[in-house]
Structures are given as C-alpha cells and as structure tokens.
Structure 1
Amino acid sequence: MKSTITRILLSAVTALTLLSGPVFAQEKSIVVSSTTSTEQSGLFGFILPIFKMKTGIEVKVVAVGTGQALDIGRRGDADVVFVHDKPAEEKFVAEGYATKRVEVMYNDFVLIGPKSDPAKIAGGRDIKAAFQKIATAQAPFVSRGDKSGTHAAELRYWKDSGVAVAPTLTWYKETGSGMGPALNTASAMNGYILADRATWLSFKNRGDLVILVQGDPKLFNQYGVMLVNPAKFPHVKKAEGQAFIDWITSKNGQDVIASYQIGGEQLFFPNARK
C-alpha cells in the first residue's frame, strides 16, 4: 500500500514537472528603471503590452526620479535604464555602468502656474525671464527636489536666471516627490511648477493651474535608454534588455511611441537615429 502511494505521488510530481517546465522556461522578464514621467503619463501602460506581445518579454518598471533610476543601475538592480538627463546619462556611460546611450524620443518642459499669475509671466517664451519674475515676486514655486531629470532641468534654469534657490526660502517648496504628487501640491498651493508636458497632459487635478510659458528651445526634453553593463554585473539580462532597446528604437517601436496620444495630442516624439 505504502509503495503504491509513493508511486502515485512520484507520477503526479513528474507530470506536474513536465507540464510546468516549458511554461516557466518561456517566462522572460527584465527590470527597467525609469522616470516617473514615462510611467505617470501612461506611456509604459500603452507600449509595454505591445512589446510583450511581440517578444514574450515582460517589463517590470521601477518608476523614480532620473537620479534614483541611474543609482538603481549603478547597483546592478536593473537591466535597462530609461531616463531624461543627458549629462547624467553620459556620466553613467563614462563611469562604465553602460557602454552606450541611445536616444529614443523627446518632448518638452512647460512652466505651469495659477490663472491669476501673480508673477505676470503668462504668454512668455523665455524661461530665464519667467524664473526671474517668479523670484522677484516671491510667488509660490513647487520644486520636485528629488534629483530627477525635471528637477535637474529646473535647477539649470534657476542658475541661468541668476537666482539662488534653497528650501529655506519661504516661497520655494521642495516636495521630494514624483511629477504627479508635485503637481498635486502646486494645485493645492496655486503655485508655479516646471513639468514635463506628457505628465501635465495626463494630470487630472489641475485646479486653477494652466500652462503659462512654453516654446523656449531650452525647454527641450530628450530621453535616452541604456543597457546596464553586463561586464560589470553578470546577472544583467543582456539579450532581453537589448531586445527591449532594439524594439523601442526600431521603426515599429518608434511608431508605437508616436501613436500615443491624450485628447488628440501627441505626448512623445520619437527621434532614435536610424
């Protein structure tokens, strides 16, 4: 009796192994550390199911500020880094954490503020002049303060404007959060804020906030993608990670990015070099 039960159990285990083995063998996934803008704009929710359908590779996204996303790559905790701070990305490559940076797409930053516009910047195109007026008026300004690509751009604009900002200023508030939560804070405070256009278009809790300054060439916002260096981190899924990069920069991937819209407005503009 005991031997019969043992044979039945062994047969069941063998059958389960045979059934489940190929399924598990086919499961492929990568970790992509990226910015909150690609996640909160809805872009990843739109493109990743298409990528998985074509390749069978599931993409697990860790959406944080660009600085944090790069740090995740530096620890070898991601296979691919997809961010938007070109100087920081080039430093990442120079440090040996990736061997190549590939440009994928772009959009732009916009300066958001209340309709009442106490700094009187509405309709302007000069981001430097707008920041100077905000500082002069000491109008409430919300900064992400999270070392993200958007935060890095904001700090460059303050520097170009000759304005030294710090959390100790009564009118300058750092949230240490992603784009969506920072926009929520600006909406509650009726404050000014620099945002990427994609997240702004997908943002619902606008309150009295509107776009006040746009169109300055300095507001150009480029995104790049990098495979974390497998020579430094052997566990990096090189083949799957490269498959993601190859697809997102291919004609098909670029067309999918271009087709993503909200309210009839395109959020990202593909510009991978062919």
Structure 2
Amino acid sequence: MRRRDTRAALLFISPWIIGFLIFTLWPVLYSGYLSLTDYDVINDPNFVGFDNYAALFEDPKIGLAFRNTLIFAAMSVPAQLVVALALALLLNAAARATGFFRTAFFLPKMTPPVAVGILLLMLFNGQSGLINSVLGVFGIDGPSWTTDPGWVKPGLVLMSLWTVGATVIILLAALRAVPQELYDAALVDGAGWWRRTLRVTVPMISPTIFFVVVVDTIGALQSFTEAYTAFFGSGNTTYSNDAALFYVIYLFQQAFEFLHMGYASAMAWVLFIVIMAITVVQVLVSRRYVHYEGRP
C-alpha cells in the first residue's frame, strides 16, 4: 500500500517534476557549461575554461554593479521590513475593515514592475514630480532623485515600498498566531505596548521575520525590472545610469545587448555563489536570534 501511495504521489507531482527538470535544472546546468565557453548565440560555443571568471576580476563595471546592488539591498531590506511590520501591527490592532485594508495593501503587488519603473520617473522627477511638489508645500527643496547619483538608490528604495503588501500579509498571519495569553501575562506584569512588542511579539514572529529577510535579500540582490525600465529602458540619456547599474542589469546587457553569453553565464554563477554565501551567513546568525516554539 505504501508503494502504491508513493507511485500515486509521484504521478500527481510528475508535471511539476518534468517542468522543473526541463525549465529550471537543465538551464542552470547548461549555463554552468556556457560559463566555461565563449558563446555569442550565433556561433557554436568555444571552450575557454575559466577565462570568463578571470575576466570578471578585470572588469571595473563588475565592482560598480556589485557595490550598487549591495548598497541597494542594505537599504531596501530593512526599510521594507520596518514598513511592513508597522503596517501589519496596525492591521492586527484594527477592529474593523481589516479585510479591506489587507486587500488594499496587497493590490500594488499586482502592479507590473515595468509600470512601477515608469511611475518612478513620474513621481520622482526633480522638476515636476509629485514627491518634490509635496515636499515643496512644506518648504523643503526636494533632491534630483533621478539625476543625482547620491539620490538614485534612495529613490529606488522608496519606490520598492510600493509593493510591500505581500510582506504585510505574511507578517499579519504570524501576528495572528501569537498566543493571547502571552500578552495577558505581560500586561499583568506591567509591560507597556512597546515592551510587549519587543519582548513578546518580535520573538514569537522571529521565524517569519527571518523568512522575510532571506526572501527580500535574495530579491534585492536580483533587482532588475524597475531600475532597468527607469534608467536604461527609457532611451533617455539624461538620467544617471551608473548609480542604477545593478548586477543583474549588467548581466542582462552582457547577455542580450553584447551577446557575451559565456561571460553573462559566469556572472550568473558568481551571483548564485554570493547569494548562497549570504544566505548561509543569515542562517548561522538566525540560530542566535530566531526563536522557535518548543526549542530551548
């Protein structure tokens, strides 16, 4: 009976297994082979060993792209977590219309990333953008978000908060699972709202916070669409492209603009290794700060 159940289970999940093998595993393995070749799509791959990887250390734009990506990730991940947690706490405390606000917060996540990139140019335009117009009402001279290299990444981070709704829903689900008895006990001990949040809420939802941080970090390190649409896909050369040159954007340029598929594949594998290394560090750090029920 166990073997029959196993065969039935494999039969049901076989479409996913086939799709994974064809559309995920095979491209990943093939890209590993291409990273060892000189391939321009038109001609057959020419094996060059680790020359592509050696060339990465000599390309000055690789360092620029990595630095831009890491700075963006270091800014966007904490910002998204803080905003999402604040909104989730407000929703958790709301007595009415919670369902409406859950939907309202999540809807921007459905916005196509290309539209978000175009919206960034409209909202953060230094001369006529809505953000600077609102700041001007309060007597604040807004910066040149899209032309000043120092403000390009902060503008992208602020724009990334537009799609924070999915994280809000995840954190809200975790908040709803915190036992009420813990809050009651803390209240009896005289703990205020802030202390209850720090000593009860955050430790109890720390596994969810850890999951969000890992997922958002991986997403930030692979940022592409919004920045590419705003600063590279518009055809406008007045914008500061170097400040928005993320690693995946440079990878895309090498692959599909310059047809350096072998070099781009090497870049992809280096990014994979970097993401794996960062994730391992996060997992190791989480053992000290993440609390799981039933574990000491």
Structure number with the higher strand fraction is 1
Structure with bigger helix share is 2
Give the TM bin, normalised by the shorter chain: under 0.3
The alignment's TM-score, normalised by the length of structure 2, stands at 0.24
